[in-house]
Amino acid sequence: MGEHVPRDLWEDDVPVERVGYYTQILADEASRYVQQQARAEKPFFLSLHFTAPHWPWVGPEDEAVSRSLTDLFHYDGGNLATYGKMVQSLDTAVGQVLKALDESGQAQNTIVVFTSDNGGERFSKTWPFTGQKTELLEGGLRVPTLLRWPQRLAPQISDQVTITMDWLPTLLAAVGLAPHPDYPSDGENILPVLTGDRSPWQRTLFWRYKSQAQRALRQGDWKYLKINDNEFLFDVVQDQRERANLRHRHPEVFAQLKTLWGQWNETQLPITDEVFTHGVTPDIQADRYAPDKGQRVRA
């Protein structure tokens, strides 16, 4: 990075220096950790958080670009070609870690989860959904999720509605444990669906986001969504792109979900002026949402 960008790599409490592409550095460290755990011959947990493809927009061969950066959020940088190289580097890095796992002899009885923390943004494509990161449209909420556990799970595509907080009770259940009764999880154990011992069930999920006063609730196929003063009701199974606003066609469902969101919100900490949120990026118009039309409008 440029001289004005702080270096912030640590091993425990010790700051360290690593020269190279960050995605590859993480892959090398993770592979080394897997090999160490194989020699220890005991269960292990690896939480590996790649940042690619994400700010800053630099590929593996873009050292010159990285040295010119003074801020990670360089709005004048990046393009589709660079984004593609970043995705390719991520794919290579994941393959490297999986190869280390294979070579350790533990792959068959190791759970591997690959997922994301939010929908794509800037150069990504969220088709068939609309919206992106920082938005409660489906393109900002839905993320890819791949799970592998050869010893216990058959290859499958699951229709179970899942949220990130489900991983805690699910992974605990996989090793024969459960959340502490004094600290219950907000998630649900989806392992019985993956093993075929239970059919998928409907969920009620809630979201809120300070930017543009966004709020959302999904219950079954229905989704209540509010952006600023605009409110919507969508059937997100039949209408994945969230175009047909059904709030006037199904007023009872709209009222029920809106009330339910309000009741849930009362149980949460208030969103105050001091609460930080990422604002809308400059290339997104704040007035892109047309009232009651269930669609995005660009100026």
284 domain-assigned: no
CA dihedral sign, ordered 15, 21, 24, 26: positive
Asked if pLDDT for residue 291 goes beyond 90, the answer is no
Give strand pairing partners of 148. 112
Give pLDDT, residue 7. 60
| Chain mean pLDDT for the chain | 90
Q: Yes or no: say if 31 and 100 are a contact pair by the CB < 8 Å rule.
A: yes
Domain that holds residue 23: 10-201
Give pLDDT, residue 274. 84
Number of domains forming the structure of the chain: 1
* Lowest pLDDT segment from 5-9, 49-53, 72-76, 208-212: 5-9
Asked if pLDDT for residue 284 goes beyond 50, the answer is no
DSSP 94-134: HHHHHHHHHHHT-GGG--EEEE-SS---TT---TTS---TT
Instruction: Give the pLDDT mean for 284-295.
Output: 40
118 domain-assigned: yes
136 domain-assigned: yes
Give pLDDT, residue 17. 87
254 domain-assigned: no
241 domain-assigned: no
Q: At residue 196, what is the residue type? A: G
pLDDT tens per residue across span 127-151: 999 999 999 999 999 999 999 999 9
Q: What is the CATH number of the domain that holds 64?
A: 3.40.720.10
Give the three-state DSSP class for 86. Answer: helix
Instruction: Give the pLDDT mean for 211-236.
Output: 97
Confidence category of residue 207, pLDDT binned at 50, 70, 90: very high
CB burial readout 268-281, b (16+ within 10 A) else e: eeeeeeeeeeeeee
Q: What are the residues whose beta carbons fall under 8 Å from the beta carbon of 108, sequence distance 6 or more? A: 150, 151
User: Which among 56, 84, 164, 153 is positioned nearest to 116, based on CA atoms?
Assistant: 164
| CA angle 221–225–226, rounded 5-degree value | 170
Distances from the Cα of 155 to the Cαs of 166, 190, 244, in angstroms?
A: 20, 16, 34
250 domain-assigned: no
Structure tokens at 14: 């010790």
209 vs 136: CA distance, rounded Å: 8
Give the phi and the psi of residue 226 in degrees, each rounded to 5: -130, 130
Tell me which DSSP letter residue 213 carries: G
pLDDT tens per residue across span 141-200: 999 999 999 999 999 999 999 999 999 999 999 999 999 999 999 999 999 999 999 999
Distances from the Cα of 162 to the Cαs of 177, 184, 191, 220, in angstroms?
A: 20, 17, 11, 12
172 domain-assigned: yes
222 domain-assigned: no
- Is 0.95 topped by the overall pTM? no
pLDDT tens per residue across span 226-252: 999 999 999 999 999 999 999 999 999
Tell me which DSSP letter residue 289 carries: B
